[in-house]
Structure 1
Amino acid sequence: MSDKNAIAADPKHLPAFDLNTAAWLGAKAEGVEIATLTNTAKAPGLPGAVPVLLKRGTAPGVEGLERLLEPYRQFPARKTGQATAQTFEAFCNLTVRHLTDHSAIFANMDWKKPTLTAVIDYHELAEGHANFGKHRVHYAFPLSEEWQKWVAGDGVKMDQGDFAWFLEDRVAELSSPTEEEKLQYERDFATTIATPAQLVELSRGLQVNVESKVKASTTLQSGEGQIAWEETHSGADGKPLKVPGIFMLNIAPFFMGDKVRIPVRLRYRPAGGKVVWFYQIYRPDQFITQHVRDVLGEAREKTGLPTYEGTPEMPA
């Protein structure tokens, strides 16, 4: 029997070496191997095991496979990103297309910039597991040009000529009060409520007297104001002008949205022989907030999802 065969048959003849020698020999070996890294700590939210790349040789180590495989990805690992809907209908359609059993809709109720956001991958209810919340559909109520002009001019003082032209340009957004509105607002504000025709008459009277000096300004028993000028022609018909204290807007605050009826207080102040005019939209936050709540209820009906007034806890 040869020496080689004798050594193989009898392990006592093998040369002795320790663990350091084995490690050195392993490090000298070349090559890579796909191994499994087990989540022995049972950390929540992590998989039970993941594949890794085990490298041997002069620079041994462990490396994740994701970086190597990512260039060959055929589709994303999960849905992410935020779709922006330009209409409420598009918001509902996109939400329905992607929704899951755990999706939810959040409404930002800021009346100046309200929004709806559907979080498609929201948290699970049954098992209580958290989700990423990175797939969303967003709808920012687009403000109409008409509403933006009224809000921009709210409380801004105007001279007589500018205010007269403002009323003429915005006459399409004015509305006659209903009987219920007439009773409510004339009682609450102790003044008369104007029709669009009365406001047009007022604006034309203001244009006639744009260069005139105020002779007298009085408040009538009805709550109306009355302005007389030094010239004989105080109004378009030669009479002192009566100024109502309130009028109604019938306007769509949001582009292609439903119209909302909002009362507006009409104000003026005599100053140095002239009159300064301005208006104040009465509690626009209440009217717009209620409108957003109505739209939120409609979204709940169309999508079948739970709705919340607020914002999701995770960032977009």
Structure 2
Amino acid sequence: MSDTTTNTLGALIAREDAPEALQVAEQLAASVAGALNLRQHGDATLAMLPGGYELRDVTSIIEKAAPVRNRCQGTVMLGDVDSLLAYCDDQACQEFGYIYADPDGRSITAIFNDQRLRAVPGWRDHRAHFTAQLTPEFQKWMSNDKKAMSQGEFAEFIEDNFADLNGQDAQTLLNVATTIQATTGINFSSARRLQDGQVQLTYNEVIDAKAGADGALKIPQVFTLGLRIFKNGEGYKLTARLKYRLAAGGVKFWYELERPERAIEDAFAGYVAAVREKSGYVVLIGKP
């Protein structure tokens, strides 16, 4: 018992109300003895205190003072599937854990101390988590899907996102955008579909109030994007249909992505297939 505690007991006993002071002193002494007499209950460390006091779990306090933890726990957030696979391999808990893939949330969560074995039920608090994040370029194409643009806006959009266009479609659309942007004061008069599937827009360029020059502009019916859907992911091909509308001598352009939600599902399904093939864990579809 410390000198401070001994002096406190002596001061209490010396008071005039010695019986009551003695009772308080005895309770204080019992509290100190209970605090020093720690008990183990499984992995928990408990201190037994007399009536009027609380039973407190001091396990975490003692564990923090130890050089290592008594078991693995916590959640690590990872940025790509390769990192998730590497972490899962390091934990080597294929016998005890599950991996959960959630297509709606586009997330994959590994629980290393799960309840896979009934004889060894785990606490389910040792985890690794990965969420597939959409790339800025894919979000830009998604946010402008089915959005009508003026001639200038369409030309600027194609030029700004030229790197996302795939193959010959890239040069064709760039030519369309360049022609529109370079030609001022034009009136579109008609449109017809050609045998190769492209659309030909006939326009008249007004040079002055009396004269003009006629021309024809071909635009493709469909074009292909080649871009990453998820950050740190691989490239993915996506088809889009180019649409137009003639109005008041001008033309509005827009595009419609073909089932972009399906493309997201397919890209995430590729992640799930890779984890199922390489991790060695049982992969379940659902939320943990």
Within 5 A, what are the aligned runs for 1:80-229?
80-100=73-93, 101-110=95-104, 114-127=106-119, 130-176=121-167, 195-229=169-203
8 A contact 2:110–2:127 mirrored in 1: yes
Paired with 2:223 and 2:115, the residues of 1 have a C-alpha distance of 48
1:159 shift after superposition = 0.9
8 A contact 1:51–1:64 mirrored in 2: no
1:36 shift after superposition = 6.7
**Residues 266, 36 of structure 1: CA spacing in aligned structure 2 closer, same or farther, 3 A cutoff?**
same
For residue 186 of structure 2, give the secondary structure of its aligned residue in structure 1. Answer: coil
Which structure has the greater CA radius of gyration?
1
**Residues 142, 54 of structure 1: CA spacing in aligned structure 2 closer, same or farther, 3 A cutoff?**
closer
**Residues 168, 220 of structure 1: CA spacing in aligned structure 2 closer, same or farther, 3 A cutoff?**
same
For residue 215 of structure 1, give the secondary structure of its aligned residue in structure 2. Answer: strand
Structure 1 unpaired stretches of 5+ = 1-24, 39-46, 177-193
Q: Normalising by structure 1, report the TM-score.
A: 0.68
Q: What letter is aligned with 1:249?
A: L
Residues 248-286 of structure 1 show CA distances to partners (whole Å, capped at 9, x for unaligned) of 111111233211111111111112222111111111122
Paired with 1:93 and 1:238, the residues of 2 have a C-alpha distance of 63
Paired with 1:84 and 1:257, the residues of 2 have a C-alpha distance of 17
Paired with 2:135 and 2:282, the residues of 1 have a C-alpha distance of 28
Q: Normalising by structure 2, report the TM-score.
A: 0.74
1:304 shift after superposition = 0.8
Paired with 1:243 and 1:206, the residues of 2 have a C-alpha distance of 11
**Residues 280, 99 of structure 1: CA spacing in aligned structure 2 closer, same or farther, 3 A cutoff?**
farther
**Residues 201, 68 of structure 1: CA spacing in aligned structure 2 closer, same or farther, 3 A cutoff?**
closer
Matched with 1:79 is 72
- Give me the CA root mean square deviation: 3.2
**Residues 238, 165 of structure 1: CA spacing in aligned structure 2 closer, same or farther, 3 A cutoff?**
farther
**Residues 260, 134 of structure 1: CA spacing in aligned structure 2 closer, same or farther, 3 A cutoff?**
same
Paired with 2:240 and 2:284, the residues of 1 have a C-alpha distance of 31
8 A contact 1:54–1:61 mirrored in 2: no
Q: What letter is aligned with 2:107?
A: T
**Residues 51, 83 of structure 1: CA spacing in aligned structure 2 closer, same or farther, 3 A cutoff?**
closer
For residue 146 of structure 2, give the secondary structure of its aligned residue in structure 1. Answer: coil
1:232 shift after superposition = 7.2
1:125 shift after superposition = 2.8
Paired with 2:64 and 2:80, the residues of 1 have a C-alpha distance of 37
1:67 shift after superposition = 6.4
Choose from 268, 274, 278 the match for 1:298.
274
Task: Give 4+ residue runs of structure 1 displaced > 6 Å after superposition.
Answer: 35-38
1:173 shift after superposition = 1.9
Matched with 2:16 is none
1:90 shift after superposition = 1.6
Choose from 231, 237, 260 the match for 2:236.
260
8 A contact 1:119–1:135 mirrored in 2: yes
Matched with 1:244 is 220
**Residues 169, 51 of structure 1: CA spacing in aligned structure 2 closer, same or farther, 3 A cutoff?**
closer
Q: What letter is aligned with 2:77?
A: T
**Residues 28, 211 of structure 1: CA spacing in aligned structure 2 closer, same or farther, 3 A cutoff?**
same
For residue 231 of structure 1, give the secondary structure of its aligned residue in structure 2. Answer: strand
Matched with 2:3 is none
**Residues 277, 72 of structure 1: CA spacing in aligned structure 2 closer, same or farther, 3 A cutoff?**
closer
Matched residues, number: 253
1:225 shift after superposition = 2.1
Q: Percent sequence identity over matched residues?
A: 23
For residue 271 of structure 2, give the secondary structure of its aligned residue in structure 1. Answer: helix
8 A contact 2:45–2:58 mirrored in 1: no
Q: What letter is aligned with 1:307?
A: V
Q: What letter is aligned with 1:174?
A: L
